[in-house]
Amino acid sequence: MTELPRRALGDSGIEVPIVGIGCNNFGGRTDAGPSERVILAALDHGVGFFDTADIYSQGRSEEILGRALGPRRDEAVIATKFGGEMGAVERSGGSRRWIAEAVEDSLRRLGTDHIDLYQHHFFDEHTPQEETLGALNELVLAGKVRAIGCSNYDGAQLERAAAISGEHGWATFVTAQNEYSLLKRGDVERSVTPAARRLGVGILPYFPLMSGLLSGKYHRGEAPAAGTRLGRDASRAGDLMTDRNFDIVEALDGFARARDLTILDVAIGALASMAQVASVIAGATTPEQVIANARAGEWTPSTADLLEIDRITLPVAAR
């Protein structure tokens, strides 16, 4: 396999491969054993950038990741998040008090003395942004966190955070994590991308495969196979397996076949080429998926390819 390009996260000194791995399956949809095999496959195939969160299976994802990495911790870049509810509403949000507690809990579960990228999971309108950003800056100064990022912020919230951190000379967000895929482009490209470009922030697209729809394994008019994510979740299957989505999936599949590619190559390779994207963090339940997703990152679209992908996706996915 060709080594994937790496991209810098702001001025943090951290570089990540253009394909990483999302860890929200671990401890929930995927038990500890299979999760560990996925984690080791990611390390072995050059996609050792792991995105987890305290709330993924209420701490189990972080525990499984930390245990599986073990002595190979330094080969990995670990991103985790705080702010979602850990069992009670007072164990959530962006307050100084909760951040101080949440970071220690994450460090313990991950079995590490530092988190590479610590992300605020959801914008918290009940806490002044100064308080959240000041507390995060202290974690950077203490060496517990190497860099900070945000998730589910819009462009204006990202701009405001940068202005506050700048005024105080604090660490600034180097990443913005938002839902972004070839099936859903509008919110990010209208709001987050322009701010991220101005600020030099890297975008981490989540749900890049739309729960597997962009892997090509689901087909119009066919029930999803048992054991797949959509096969196990009828309500999500109903939301995603729509004519609107299959119109794009089938057109992207045709685009891929005409170039001897798979739709997975296009879904991951094209997203990695969009403005400001730092790394595509696809989830995976097996080592084979990890390897396929890593390989997909090897495809770099030409300008003409990107224009054609815009023509296929934008009329619908930009809405």
Residues forming contacts to ligand NAP in the complex (CB under 6 A) are 22-25, 29, 51, 121, 151-152, 177, 206-212, 215, 217, 228-229, 264, 281-285, 289, 292-293
To ligand NAP, the closest distance from the beta carbon of 241 in angstroms equals 13
To ligand NAP, the closest distance from the beta carbon of 302 in angstroms equals 23
How many Å apart are CA 140 and CA 123, to the nearest integer?
20
* Closest by Cα among 177, 230, 237, 235 to 207: 177
The answer to whether residue 56 is catalytic is yes
Q: Whose Cβ is closer to ligand NAP: residue 76's or residue 284's?
A: 284
Residue 193 and residue 203 in contact, taking contact as beta carbons nearer than 8 Å: yes
- Residues near 4 by beta carbon (within 8 Å), at least 6 away in sequence: 17, 18, 19, 46, 47, 294, 297, 298
Dihedral pair phi/psi, residue 280, rounded to 5°: -95, 110
How many Å apart are CA 140 and CA 5, to the nearest integer?
27
How many Å apart are CA 60 and CA 263, to the nearest integer?
32
Q: Whose Cβ is closer to ligand NAP: residue 107's or residue 284's?
A: 284
Q: Whose Cβ is closer to ligand NAP: residue 94's or residue 208's?
A: 208
To ligand NAP, the closest distance from the beta carbon of 240 in angstroms equals 10
Dihedral pair phi/psi, residue 204, rounded to 5°: -110, 100
Token look-up 């997975």 returns 264
Q: Whose Cβ is closer to ligand NAP: residue 191's or residue 228's?
A: 228
| From 56, 153, 206, 218, the catalytic residue | 56
To ligand NAP, the closest distance from the beta carbon of 167 in angstroms equals 27
To ligand NAP, the closest distance from the beta carbon of 318 in angstroms equals 19
Cα–Cα distance list, 85 to 55, 81, 235, 245, 304 (Å)? 7, 11, 23, 31, 44
- Cα dihedral sign for 56, 230, 29, 279? negative
In this structure, what DSSP letter does residue 211 have? G
Q: Whose Cβ is closer to ligand NAP: residue 251's or residue 291's?
A: 291
Active site residues: 56
